[in-house]
Amino acid sequence: MTAHWYPPITHHITLLPQRISAFPKDMSLAEAVDEEAKYRSAVVDRGEFVGLVRSAASASGATPTVGQFSFFVTNGESVF
């Protein structure tokens, strides 16, 4: 058995969490639940995901780079 079955990892992808704004302090729990459901529905309907891709530092000393990307998931296709 050899010690190197897979190529080395060269990139790391992180999907960014979908954040929602804080609700007003005077909002009732029922109102907050309704607002949160509306927000999540909009995020799901839009289907957009944003992420970061980072390259690893190379043995030659190259500086790691970071890029941002987004993609959309729809019925039957993905758009990058």
**Can you give the pLDDT at residue 71?**
81
- Higher pLDDT, residue 5 or 68: 68
Give the whole-angstrom CA distance, residue 15 versus residue 73: 14
Instruction: Answer yes or no: are the C-beta atoms of 53 and 15 closer than 8 Å.
Output: no
DSSP type of residue 3: S
Unique residue bearing structure tokens 């993609």: 71
Q: Is 75 exposed, middle or buried (0-12, 13-18, 19+ CB in 10 A)?
A: exposed
What pLDDT, in 10s, does the model give residues 35-74? 888 877 777 777 788 899 988 766 667 777 889 988 877 7
Cα 65–66–72 angle (5° rounding)? 140
Whole-model pTM: value is 0.50
